[in-house]
Amino acid sequence: MSFRPRYSQFLTGTVLLPLLIACGSSDDGEDPGTGGTGGATSSTVSGGTTSSASGTSSSGTGGAGTGTSGSTTSASSTGGSDATTGTGSGTGGAPAGGDTELTGIETPGADCTVPSLPAFGELRANDKLPDPFTMMDGTKVTTRAQWVCRHREISEMVQHYETGPKQVKEATVTGSVAGGKLTINVSGGAQDVSFAVDITLPSTGTPPYPALIGLSGGSLNNNRLQQMGVAIINYNHNGVQPEGNRSGGIFSKFQGNADSGALIAWAWGASRIIDALESTPDAQIDPKRLAITGCSRNGKGALMIGAMDSRIALTIPQESGSGGVAAWRVSEVDNMGRTGSSGVQNLSRTYGEQQWFSKTIEQFGSAVTKLPLDHHELVGMVAPRGLLILGNLNYEWLSTNNADQAGGAARMIYEALGAKQNIGYVDSGHTHCGTDYAGGEQAAIEAFVKKFLLEDASASTDIWKPKNELDKAKWVDWTAPTLP
């Protein structure tokens, strides 16, 4: 099988998405690393990420089962480069014949030109949530092709100002499956690295199955999802990069000296899992029906993963708090007058808690309004794909209002793309990262899974139940176009 995944190559001087990947609560500490075995042949490419697996393939069979067959299988493929290199001045629109696809490739807009991004001292303060529909050169977005390039700009801004780069070194990815484990081998960087994920196949359905990839296994009702025909993939993201150590995981070993935080490293690892799934059919997973979910700090990771890889069909960030769905600007205002550990987490407190972000974001701790983006745009990067945001009213530090405002603004992006029904939101009070929901969350989860993973067109995802609606007068001074 041959394919050409697109990814974001970090542009010097610049800033810059199906499987259910689940991220569970990581409040209990890091997961132990997961080792993988099994051989896989690799192919080398220049300037791109190639996923390959080689050897004999066996046909999957339906029926009940846990894991995969005991035999080791692999396949081999090559692909060309999709990376964009260099910098230049933007024109505000997609290039001739530009990419208007927002799904099915890792990074939309790889053929778009992204201008150099301003240094901190050149940025102007803006108390409002920044306009997602104005290009960096001031051009207003009026077409879908222009939005693809704006999507790329937002991606580069997130990486430049907040997370550090997702992709520094060119990568060749191979996958092999044995005994219920998918081993992912990545070569071409400072060091060759590998990691493995556990796959539990559902008790119903026919392969290839849709899947839920879970950071630390996820915090949703996985038993119910398996009954619905969804496989569960356990992603040990802390083995890719521990949140408390920038140089302690395989991401830093592969990339070398990159000032990248844990969230973008987890996104890199998830993309490599998808690469391997695309070329390892014996895993019995359909890479076009993938989802990502996680809770708390892993909810932040789930959102980042869903935003940074457009191959993911459904994203479910749960209780992600500040640094996740919540808008930095709203968090700052809502935190004013608070002392100590009371109140919501603002940018400076979030940065100080763990190494989720790059060191670059620290300079905005006392100047949040100078950030040229906010997290309504990060959330909006998931559009028009499936997105279900789950909140929790019982914990002030989870920043309910801040997430509600960002979610409401992101919904305007979905509406502009004609996909308002693809974004859902539920707030209620319950145990942190628990399934004792009180607001209809389980019904919402099942509706989104039916629509985006099981391809049930009759499933209704018109679900919008935040505690607070978007206060446009306070936070929005722009309008959303209709993008043909």
Residue tagged active-site, from 296, 310, 320, 358: 296
Q: How far is CA 208 from CA 52, 152, 159, in A?
A: 18, 31, 34
So what's the pLDDT on residue 20? 45
Mean pLDDT across the chain: 83
So what's the pLDDT on residue 338? 63
**Higher-scoring residue by pLDDT: 220, 55:** 220
Alpha carbon distance 80, 49 (integer Å): 8
SS3 content of the chain, % helix, strand, coil (to 5): 30, 15, 55
CATH architecture of the domain 19-475 equals 3-Layer(aba) Sandwich (3.40)
So what's the pLDDT on residue 142? 97
59 in catalytic set: no
DSSP result, 151-209: HHHHHHHHIIIII--SB-S-EEEEEEEETTEEEEEEESSSS-EEEEEEEE--SSS-SSE
Q: What are the tens digits of pLDDT across the range 422-476?
A: 999 999 999 999 999 999 999 999 999 999 999 999 999 999 999 999 999 999 9
432 in catalytic set: yes
Cα radius of gyration (the chain):
21
Q: What are the tens digits of pLDDT across the range 46-55?
A: 333 443 333 3
Alpha carbon distance 327, 409 (integer Å): 10
Half-sphere CA count of 250, side-chain side, radius 13 A: 23
Q: What are the tens digits of pLDDT across the range 229-280?
A: 999 999 999 999 998 877 789 999 999 877 899 999 999 999 999 999 999 9
The ranges assigned to domains in the chain are 19-475
The pair of structure tokens assigned to 247 is 């140089």
For residue 220, give the nearest of 124, 313, 319 by alpha carbon: 319
- Strand-pair category, 181-187 with 171-178: antiparallel
What percentage of the chain carries pLDDT values higher than 90? 71
Label residue 158 by pLDDT band (50, 70, 90). very high
For residue 70, give the nearest of 226, 142, 177 by alpha carbon: 177
SS (H, E, C) 424-463: EEECCCCCCCCCCCCCCHHHHHHHHHHHHCCCCCCCCCCC
DSSP result, 372-418: S--HHHHHHTTTTSEEEEE--TT-GGG-HHHHHHHHHHHHHHHHHTT
The pair of structure tokens assigned to 335 is 């935190």
The pair of structure tokens assigned to 338 is 């608070």
